[in-house]
Amino acid sequence: MEVYDAMRHEQLTYLGHSAFLITTLAGDILIDPFLSGNPSASIGPDNVHPNYILMTHGHSDHLGDTIGITRRTGATVIGPAELVTYLAGKGVSNVHPMHIGGNHVFPFGELFLTQALHGSSVTENGHFIYTGNPCGFVVKTGERTIYHAGDTGVFLNTELIGRLHPLDIALLPIGGNFTMGIDDALEAVKMLAPHAAIPMHYGTFPVIAVDPQLFRKKVESSTSARCPVLEPGQTF
Ligand code: NI
Ligand code: MN
């Protein structure tokens, strides 16, 4: 087991929609695990074994299977304080509330919560429960710095995120309607200046069906970033 761990490399795997799995030397990080009921999900909620779950906001296509997965695995749930407190009220025992602008050093590395222009709520019996501000994450592991934008429109402070955190990888929504679309996501890439920009939050539903290859062409022709389009289940 020790040999295996020593040989282990960090990996980023796309699970569909906005869900990603980051494997690190100090535990696996699952972001926005919308797997059950997600037509684009590459695996089911019983096939992930995270140590940490990062949640950008409370919408069902991001909260997803968080409660079931943490009950089964004991994974620590990290996210905006109101959302995490809501989950604690649902019996989730391992929680770590944070907030935008805050940072904390975990065993896997340092985590920063960033601004996102969006909403955040959970619907129960037809009633909205407000779950604070939505966020994005910058994850600095031993090997890589990765930005997951969450659901957001484009905003000029994106430039500050890129300046504070030189990025290897930026995960950006491109599907429009609920978030920025292709052209606004291209502006975000220009401000972030990552080595690689990976599109997410498109194609899962008809209303966010866009062509990721168009995003790739625009990014690779007007910035120095690579733009790999990952299929659900594919590792970068
Ligand atoms: Ni949302
Ligand atoms: Mn969403």
Residue 107 lies in a domain: yes
H or E element in which residue 183 lies: helix 182-192
Residues 89, 47, 105, 194: what is their CA dihedral angle, to the nearest 10 degrees? -120
| Distance between Cα 5 and ligand 2 center (Å) | 34
pLDDT (tens digit, 9 = 90+) per residue, 51-85?
A: 999 999 999 999 999 999 999 999 999 999 999 99
| Distance between Cα 77 and ligand 1 center (Å) | 18
| Distance between Cα 7 and ligand 2 center (Å) | 35
To the question of pTM greater than 0.85 for the whole model, the response is yes
Q: Which of helix, strand or coil describes residue 185?
A: helix
Lowest mean pLDDT among 2-6, 62-66, 126-130, 169-173: 2-6
| Distance between Cα 17 and ligand 2 center (Å) | 8
Residue 189 lies in a domain: yes
Residues across the chain = 236
Residue 43 lies in a domain: yes
Number of domains in the chain: 1
Residues in the 5 Å CB sphere of ion ligand 2: 61, 151
Domain that holds residue 125: 7-222
8 pLDDT band, cuts 50/70/90, is low
* Angle, alpha carbons 1-33-171 (nearest 5°): 95
Residue 179 lies in a domain: yes
| Distance between Cα 132 and ligand 2 center (Å) | 15
CATH number of the domain encompassing residue 154: 3.60.15.10
